[in-house]
Amino acid sequence: SYPVTRKKKEDSDVFPTSRSDWERIRNPDLSTPPSPSKGPSYREEKAKARFAKQIRKLQKRRLVLILRTVVLGIQEESLKSEEGLSTLNLATLQVVVNNNHSQIQAFNEELVQTLVGKGRTFYRTGGTAFRY
């Protein structure tokens, strides 16, 4: 059997010799240009999925609030008539007014938060909104 001799690697095989070799080691992503045929990256897919989840969550919350408002509307139907209001005392009327005021304030705050969130998403995506 022949003795196995290993070829000793020269320094030029192990260490980069040119500036472009050093740059390729420091930034491996820059050494090969991105392929245009590739789809969206994992990070983009994750951002889109997170955005879609937020939209579903907001739509669900909005649906719950609409259903709650409809139920309150049915219960408070008697409060819309003059006869129903005339039977209530001043303290009860004040409670109804305060309840309506707090609901309006909560809806306004939710609207502001939704619009601020959409603005952040709009600027985070470079001015283009995702379409689903």
Q: Which residue range is the domain that position 63 belongs to? A: 42-132
In a domain, 83, yes or no: yes
DSSP-based helix, strand, coil % in the chain, nearest 5 = 70, 0, 30
* pLDDT tens by residue, 40-52: 788 888 989 999 9
Domain count, the chain: 1
Cα–Cα distance measured from residue 108 to residue 103, given in angstroms and rounded to the nearest whole number: 9
In a domain, 60, yes or no: yes
Residue 78 is encoded by which pair of tokens? 């008697």
Q: What is the predicted pLDDT for the residue at 95? A: 82
Amino acid, res. 98: N
In a domain, 19, yes or no: no
Please compute the mean of the pLDDT values over residues 89-94 and round it to a whole number: 80
Q: What is the predicted pLDDT for the residue at 106? A: 92
- Of 69 and 48, more confident: 48
- Do residues 30 and 23 touch, judged by C-beta distance below 8 A? yes
In a domain, 88, yes or no: yes
In a domain, 72, yes or no: yes
Cα–Cα distance measured from residue 119 to residue 124, given in angstroms and rounded to the nearest whole number: 8
